[in-house]
Amino acid sequence: MKRAQPLRRDRARLPAAERRRQIIEVTTRLIAERGFWGLSMQDVADDCGLTVPGLLHHVGSKDSLLVAVLEHRDEADARSLAGELGVPVERLYSDGPALVSLQQVCAALVRRNAGQPEIVRLFAVLEAESLAPDHPAHDYFQARQERTMNTLAALVPPPADPRAVASQVVAMMDGLQIQWLREPGTIDLVAAWDAAAARLFA
């Protein structure tokens, strides 16, 4: 009986930063397809042309890899939003005087998300999974939600209740994104947000 050929691995030695970027991109795609619990380190290693020990050398553990994926996405979003809004990235979410309005930030974020459905799906899947206290991203999403609420609340002009408005914005945006992910061919995320924002910010 003919033996199956062993999986061929790409032994090209990439610089550490480039290899890590490759691992994060592959992991992002796989989690978006399968969720974190369906993610196999063997599949990540195979898609990167690595062995599992070689993969762990770069990322430490599956939990560490997940957090790296989430943090990478946050950093990329911050750079993109800062560029679109014309503000320094370090001032985008700073505690100093606001350089942009809440409406501008929300509109830019929705436009950004409309162009990356797989990333939005990844976050939607992980955010739901991480409601379980033992999920490795539970603390990350809890801290992220608090940070998001504080950031948006700081942009709410008086006399509105900052926390209440921030909560409504997050609920509206998350809800519209879920509807869009389910029916991307029939729902225009940007148009849906613009219509909702006209009421929310009236």
The pLDDT value given to residue 38 = 83
Token pair 């926390």 is found at: 163
| pLDDT per position as a tens digit, 34-75 | 777 788 999 999 999 999 999 999 998 888 898 888 888 888
The pLDDT value given to residue 189 = 97
The pLDDT value given to residue 49 = 92
Token pair 């998300």 is found at: 113
The pLDDT value given to residue 8 = 46
> What's 41-82 look like in SS3?
HHHHHHHHCCCHHHHHHHHCCHHHHHHHHHHHHHHHHHHHHH
The pLDDT value given to residue 2 = 46
The residue among 167, 166, 191 whose CA lies nearest residue 180 is: 191
* Average pLDDT, 10 consecutive residues per value, the chain (202 residues): 46 80 90 81 93 92 88 88 85 68 92 89 87 91 92 88 94 96 94 94 82
Residue 44 to residue 118: CA distance in whole angstroms: 17
The pLDDT value given to residue 93 = 66
At 39, give phi and psi (nearest 5°).
-80, 130
Contact 49, 23 (CB under 8 A): no
56: burial class by Cβ within 10 Å (0-12, 13-18, 19+)? middle
Residue 40 to residue 27: CA distance in whole angstroms: 9
All structural domains of the chain, each given as residue ranges with its CATH number in brackets, are: 16-200 (1.10.357.10)
The residue among 87, 67, 69 whose CA lies nearest residue 78 is: 87
